[in-house]
Amino acid sequence: MVTSRTGSAPRIDLHAHSTASDGTLSPGELVRAASEAGLDVLAITDHDTTAGWAPAVRALPPGLRLIRGAELSCRWSGTQPPVPLHLLAYLFDPDHPELVAELARVRAAREERGERIVGLLRADGVDVSWPDILAGAGGGTVGRPHIAQALIRAGLVGSTGEAFGPDWLGERYRLPKEDIDVFRAIRLVRAAGGVPVFAHPRATRRGRVVPDELIAELAAAGLAGLEADHEDHSPAEQAHVRALAAELGLLVTGSSDFHGTHKTVQLGAFSTGVEAYERIVAAGVTEVASG
Ligand code: AMP
Ligand code: FE
Ligand code: ZN
Ligand code: FE
């Protein structure tokens, strides 16, 4: 049973990034910040990597529980061009060979895409440097937020949000990467003993979203839950996701998707109920770590 340190309902945030991908707090800083924010449970879910798990566990403050997870870069090829989507995976075996290989492949594809985006920018006379951007990622999974930082450093945009606008990384300089087929990703996460949850499935403000019929197919293929409460969902989108989850028998989560100063959202801004948490813990092969 998870209990709260304050006697009220436990505060559970199941989606957060560290410097192991595109967050700005190190894994240790992230778990300390979660504790200071009064959270009882945090999931570390860096993009396509488990590299933050060990340092986060080592730094885990007393009273905080840590769910080890990741956010997998996926795509659905049922329409052209394929729709990119994110799959949160919780409590899986980080040594499952096929999953390890697939994550390594996606990280390499991210580097290749990042370098091509920089090539497009440079061809247009934008003075950004791929080696600087890679260095800025500090060995973590590289993503567009790192390129956004280079645009900010060059004085071309004022914020990460602006860098994701249509003139920059949101459209003009947006290139696809070789993401994992979403059905394969669900199969791999389940094979590794993990619990797959579709991250921000209705985030129309991020771009195209997949149809509900696809979500029903994913549920039949082993998807466990849907992230409903998220800053990229309008209240109507949150309600829609909840209703769909109820219809399909999926669990529902809410999470901040915290990225440190790369986004404005704060830890615990959205949270998950205890019942969903207990279902995830019961279904996962990895123990929840306790501080
Ligand atoms: P990538 O994974 O390289 O395609 O970059 C996408 C990542 O950028 C997402 O996972 C978010 O973390 C971040 N992101 C997307 N849109 C925005 C935005 N408008 N402002 C800040 N960060 C964003
Ligand atoms: Fe991110
Ligand atoms: Zn995400
Ligand atoms: Fe995320």
* Same structural domain, 57 and 191: yes
Q: Which residues contact 96 (CB under 8 A, 6 or more apart)?
A: 188, 191, 192, 193
Which domain range does residue 90 map to? 12-96+179-290
Whether residue 92 sits in one domain with residue 202: yes
Testing ligand 1's pocket by substitution, the residue of 19, 22, 115 carrying the most ligand atoms inside 8 A of its CB is 22
| Predicted pLDDT at 154 | 95
Do 88 and 188 fall within a single domain? yes
Residue 2 domain-assigned (yes or no):
no
Query: 3-state secondary structure string, 101-142?
Result: HHHHHHHHHHHHHHHHHHHHHHHCCCCCCHHHHHHHHCCCCC
Residue 1 inside a domain? The answer is: no
Looking at the structure, do residues 243 and 190 belong to the same domain, yes or no? yes
pLDDT digits (tens, 9 = 90+) for 208-249: 999 999 999 999 999 999 999 999 999 999 999 999 999 999
Choose the final residue of a domain: 141, 158, 173: 173
Give the mean pLDDT of 190-204: 98
Dihedral sign for Cα 122, 128, 129, 133, please.
negative
Structural domain tally of the chain?
Answer: 2
Confirm whether 4 is domain-assigned.
no
Mean pLDDT across 79-84: 96
DSSP-assigned states of every residue in 261-274: BTSSPPTTSS---H
Do 270 and 143 have their domain in common? Answer: no
Both 204 and 156 in a single domain?
Answer: no
| Ligand that lies nearest to the alpha carbon of residue 176, given by its number in the listed order | 1
- Average pLDDT on 121-138 reads 97
Structure confidence by residue, pLDDT tens digits, 91-106: 999 999 999 999 999 9
- Residue linked to tokens 């729709």: 83
CATH value at residue 18: 3.20.20.140
For the Cβ of 144 lying below 6 angstroms from any atom of ligand 1, the answer is yes
- Same-domain check for residues 85 and 185: yes
How many angstroms does the Cα of residue 244 sit away from the middle of ligand 3?
20
Closest-CA residue, ligand 1 atom 13, reads 145
Position 206 scores a pLDDT of 86
257 in contact with ligand 1, CB cutoff 6 A: no
Strand 41-47 with 83-90, pairing: unpaired
